Amino acid sequence: MAVGNPLNLSQARGITRSRAGIKAYPEDWRVTEDLDRTFADTGEHIYLYIRKRCLSTIPVASRLAKAFDVPAMDVGFAGMKDKHAVTEQWFSVRDPSQDTGFDVSRLNQTEGDQEIEVLHCRRDGKKLRRGEHQANRFSIVLRDVVAEIDQAQLRCRLELGFPNYFGPQRFGRHNLDDALDWLRHRRDQGRYRRLSQRQKGWHLSVLRSWVFNELLAGRVRDETWQICLDGDDVGPSQTGQADIPYGPLWGRGKNTLSGPALKRQEHRMAEVRTPDEEQSLSEVCAGLEYAGVDRGLRPMAVTPQNITIAHDRQEATLSLAFSLPVGAYATVLLGQWFDLQDLSLASAS
């Protein structure tokens, strides 16, 4: 099983996935951030709604820090957005001068395939924090879709929701191996002494994501990822229509599961081993508790909203649009029903 998406619904149900290419062009993958916020239109933080192309979020934040001559920590954003894509998102920059005469068009840049354009500008008294946006709207073109697509059937499958895995981009090629090595040897004298807090935080995030994915994969296998078992942690779905099970982002704190839900989790933690077979999942969880991170919860199930589908048989393309809540991955949703080939990787090599 792949680390980023351990078990998909097609596998669990014996359905053959159609091949599809993603990100052949940046315009094939469009993401629009939904930030439902009332701006004060006064205060020391300038808010910039930026469209970017072929740039991830961090480089844009760095350019804003340089342009306003402020530390990187004075630039805020709600979420990380894809690089090989066209995306729109908000940034905030601390600007105590409150200079209303700043020409934001000076921030617009075009360098080769990379583009930055400021679409809107507002002011507020508070910095934009991670996770403050409500959702992301995706408009995606899948290419080389040669299989016949039953659009009504595909819509039904999408509307039933999908397991809320962390996507493969969270793990990369070596992120999990590097994080496991750090967890095992972080107390070795001198080995990780100079590791930055940011890198430590990334290791912890990767490990917690892997633990969550593996526990969720067990529930997918048992077809209980949308069903609240006795003893589960439960919470509202994004639509608020029904409670759904929540899985752990592992760390310090009492395990609040009990009964059948706890027994399933304990069995899965003993069953799963790290990719190098050196540790069980339960041993990794113990290491996370000693590493000092606090436990959190994440919904096991996600349901996309506002779905539209258009299939062009002549061009062998499938165009999809949908909204996902914060923290959910479009690649995971699509990967449930399509064998995805990231065409941007081929163009980058």
- List residues with catalytic annotation: 82
Task: Walk across the sheet containing 233-236 and list its strands.
Answer: 233-236, 243-249, 296-299
Q: How far apart are CA 329 and CA 273, in angstroms?
A: 25
The owner of tokens 């408009």 is: 139
Yes or no: say if 116 and 289 are a contact pair by the CB < 8 Å rule: no
Assign 266 to helix, strand or coil. helix
Q: How far apart are CA 9 and CA 17, in angstroms?
A: 10
Yes or no: say if 212 and 166 are a contact pair by the CB < 8 Å rule: yes
Which residue, among 177, 172, 170, 182, has the nearest Cα to 206 in the 3D structure?
A: 170
Pairing mode of beta strands 18-22, 86-94: unpaired
175-185 and 197-221 helices, crossing angle to 10°: 110
Contacts of 174 (CB under 8 A, 6+ apart): none
Structural tokens at position 82: 């894809």
Q: How far apart are CA 84 and CA 30, in angstroms?
A: 9
Pairing mode of beta strands 305-312, 45-53: unpaired
Assign 331 to helix, strand or coil. helix
* Element at 181 (helix H, strand E): helix 175-185
Give phi and psi for 219, each to the nearest 5. -70, -35
